[in-house]
């Protein structure tokens, strides 16, 4: 099949972007032809996949989205399937990595042009009159879409997580951990807190910095690309800037997971939270919130603590202290059990199989 994959912007350290590229490469490996339409591409381009750049000129972000959707709709007629990784009209399939905006944008904000435009895009995908099918990766968000739009159950294909197996704790983790911590000028006894993600605000970096302030011996390392200014200002106000380290996007995420002592992912909104499962199979305990779609896995695996969304900063700090007091070997053993037993690795294969099975884009 000729597949059109559509994405507003590609950058190498985004979770949605990684999923899109992995699905595209798996489709090519099965003999399909993939063209990626996007308005911006950062980093190297993949082999055997055409990347078609469509520059847009609109000034605001929501107008750029609309302009891009209009441009790509004029180019995808000859493709067998149109697969969107952002919400827009005319898709055969939508990969639902983003949460339900109708749940978040209530009146009167929903009538502002910026939000109204985004809601219109969402309506085009999920409304009862739409024929777009949905690759669903978050059961809680799926329920919200059905509540707001009445989307038929048969339009959804539920996918398992797609965690990369290179995150699993290896037998040689001790030497990797020691070498990595030496590079960071950390002893084995110093608590190393880790934050991974490129959306600092929604993923709760401010909460992580407040937790850091209550752990005077700890260092917090932030792995991900975003604007750090407001968070650095918060750290300075709390007197912890010397213990907060912005590392930017990193290609060696497994080494960070194996070297740290606690993952802080106290998100305000998170459709899934892939890093939660990456940490768990790496034997790294997790402190997170119920806002994360994958948080039930952490509870089921006993790999950390899941806080209520309205938990106080003091409660979060206390939970972090408690998790750090538990033996690291115990966490590693739990992580190995979870890695060996959980069905969390096959998202990409299931996604491509769904596209192949529903190649006419119609409801079954």
Asked if residue 290 is part of any domain, the answer here is: yes
Q: Are strands 192-196 and 156-158 parallel, antiparallel or unpaired?
A: unpaired
Q: Quick one: 128 and 13 in the same domain?
A: yes
What pTM value is reported for the model? 0.83
Return the closest-CA partner of residue 273 out of 304, 318, 312: 304
Q: How many domains does the chain have?
A: 2
Q: Quick one: 95 and 140 in the same domain?
A: yes
Asked if residue 12 is part of any domain, the answer here is: yes
CATH code (residue 14): 3.40.50.2000
Q: Quick one: 351 and 318 in the same domain?
A: no
Quote the CA–CA distance of 100 and 123 in Å, as a whole number.
Answer: 10
Q: Quick one: 210 and 305 in the same domain?
A: yes
Q: Quick one: 231 and 202 in the same domain?
A: yes
Q: Quick one: 147 and 43 in the same domain?
A: yes
Q: Quick one: 193 and 207 in the same domain?
A: yes
- In order, the DSSP letters of 65-127 are HHHHHHHHHTT-TTSSEEEESS--TT-SEEEE-S--HHHH--TTGGGSHHHHHHHHHHHHHHS
Q: Quick one: 232 and 306 in the same domain?
A: yes
SS3 287: strand
Q: Are strands 192-196 and 262-265 parallel, antiparallel or unpaired?
A: parallel
Confidence (pLDDT) at 173: 95
- Owning domain of residue 78: 2-160+346-357
Per-residue pLDDT of the chain (364 residues; tens, 9 = 90+): 999 999 999 998 888 999 999 999 999 999 999 999 999 999 999 999 999 999 898 878 889 999 999 999 999 999 999 999 999 999 999 999 998 999 888 777 766 777 889 999 999 999 999 999 999 999 889 999 999 999 999 999 999 999 999 999 999 999 999 999 999 999 999 999 999 998 899 999 999 999 999 999 999 999 999 999 999 999 999 999 999 999 999 989 999 999 999 999 999 989 899 999 999 999 999 999 999 999 999 999 999 999 999 999 999 999 999 999 999 999 999 999 999 999 999 999 999 999 999 754 444 3
Q: Quick one: 41 and 142 in the same domain?
A: yes
**Where are the extended beta strands (E) located within 164-232?**
192-196, 219-223
Confidence (pLDDT) at 363: 40
Confidence (pLDDT) at 110: 65
Asked if residue 362 is part of any domain, the answer here is: no
Q: Quick one: 181 and 290 in the same domain?
A: yes
**Longest C-alpha distance within the chain, in Å?**
60
């Amino acid at each position: 099949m000729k597949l059109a994959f559509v994405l507003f912007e590609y950058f190498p350290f985004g979770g949605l972007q990684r999923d899109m590229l992995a699905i595209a490469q798996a489709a090519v490996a099965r003999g399909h032809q993939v063209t990626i339409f996007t308005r911006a591409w950062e980093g190297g381009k993949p082999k055997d996949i055409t990347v078609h750049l469509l520059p847009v000129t609109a000034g605001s972000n929501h107008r750029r989205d609309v302009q891009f959707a209009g441009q790509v709709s004029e180019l995808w007629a000859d493709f067998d399937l149109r697969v969107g990784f952002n919400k827009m009209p005319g898709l055969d399939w939508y990969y639902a990595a983003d949460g339900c905006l109708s749940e978040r944008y209530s009146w009167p904000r929903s009538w502002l042009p910026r939000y109204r435009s985004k809601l219109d895009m969402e309506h085009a995908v999920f409304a009862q009159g739409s024929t777009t099918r949905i690759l669903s990766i978050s059961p809680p968000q799926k329920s919200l879409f059905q509540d707001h739009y009445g989307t038929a159950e048969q339009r959804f294909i539920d996918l398992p997580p797609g965690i990369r197996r290179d995150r699993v704790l290896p037998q040689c983790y001790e030497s990797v951990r020691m070498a990595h911590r030496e590079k960071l000028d950390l002893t084995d006894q110093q608590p190393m807190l880790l934050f991974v993600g490129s959306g600092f605000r929604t993923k709760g970096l401010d909460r992580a910095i407040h937790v850091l302030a209550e752990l005077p011996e700890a260092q917090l390392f932030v792995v991900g690309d975003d604007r750090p200014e407001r968070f650095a200002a918060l750290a300075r106000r709390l007197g912890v800037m010397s213990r907060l380290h912005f590392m930017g996007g990193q290609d060696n995420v497994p080494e960070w997971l194996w070297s740290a002592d606690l993952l802080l992912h106290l998100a305000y909104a998170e459709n899934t939270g892939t890093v939660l499962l990456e940490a768990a199979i790496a034997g790294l305990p997790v402190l997170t919130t119920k806002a994360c779609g994958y948080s039930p896995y952490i509870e089921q695996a006993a790999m950390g603590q899941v806080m209520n969304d309205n938990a106080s900063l003091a409660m979060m700090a206390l939970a972090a202290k408690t998790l750090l007091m538990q033996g690291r070997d115990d966490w590693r053993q739990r992580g190995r059990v979870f890695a060996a037993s959980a069905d969390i690795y096959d998202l990409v294969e299931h996604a491509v199989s769904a596209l192949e099975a529903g190649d006419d884009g119609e409801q079954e």
